[in-house]
Structure 1
Amino acid sequence: MPLLSDALQTADMLLIDDLHAFSFSLDEKGLSIECMDGRELKRWHFVPEAVSQARYDDSAGLWLIDDVDGPHRLACMDAIIAAEEENE
């Protein structure tokens, strides 16, 4: 069974509830995520127990993780990096 903590180790960005988040951290206090939604800063914090109990939905390709507000959809992603073009 996959673990969310393992997936977070290689992720460059997250997709949480359809919002892209580049600012996130996982430590002994849990998972913290921040992102801008227009002009509004959104923040989530998941305690370590929620991270360890996150469920992977293989058919949707995302994690389901709960906090006090209920379930959230979370996908771990690799950032797209554009290759530099050489000028001739």
Structure 2
Amino acid sequence: MTTTTLLDALLNTDMLEIDELHAWQFDLDEEQLQQHAAGSSSASETPLLSIECMDGRNLRKWKFSLAQVLAAQYDADSDSWLIAGADAQHRIKCFEAFSGDNNDQPDDEDAGES
């Protein structure tokens, strides 16, 4: 992994796994990101990272502040990040998604014209 912080990894990821649960629904607070990039972020406990996923029939939610995200430690053995939550330590893995298109047309626009 080439990123040095969990925040860097989150900015370049499409899907997360938290505590072995896949989470496609996660958000980073854009306002806090802009403040942090400008060097004016405060030590607020306002959630920077919000994660939601289904665990069977139960909706699970996690929220982490900027300080918690910045304090996360990378574990090379598991290729994951350890982050301290309000109630426990959690393990987050970041994934990049692959996507395809449903376009059955040839790549060359002129291929069908004769």
User: Is TM more than 0.5 here?
Assistant: yes
**Paired-residue identity, %:** 45
Q: Could you say which residue in structure 2 is the equivalent of 1:44?
A: 62
- Quote the residue 1:24 is aligned against: 26
* Secondary structure of 1:41's aligned partner: strand
The root-mean-square deviation of aligned C-alpha atoms, in Å, is 1.9
What TM-score do the two structures reach when normalised by structure 2? 0.69
Q: What corresponds to 2:76 in structure 1?
A: 58
Structure 1 stretches lacking a partner, 5+ long? none
Measure the CA separation in 2 of the matches of 1:79 and 1:8: 13
Spell out, residue by residue over 1:10-37, the C-alpha distance to the aligned partner (whole angstroms, 9 max, x if none): 1000000000001111122311000111
More strand by share: 1
More helix by share: 2
Q: Which has the larger radius of gyration?
A: 2
In structure 2, the residue matched to 1:67 is: 85
Structure 2, unaligned stretches of length 5 or more? 33-45, 106-114
Task: Number of aligned residue pairs: give it.
Answer: 88
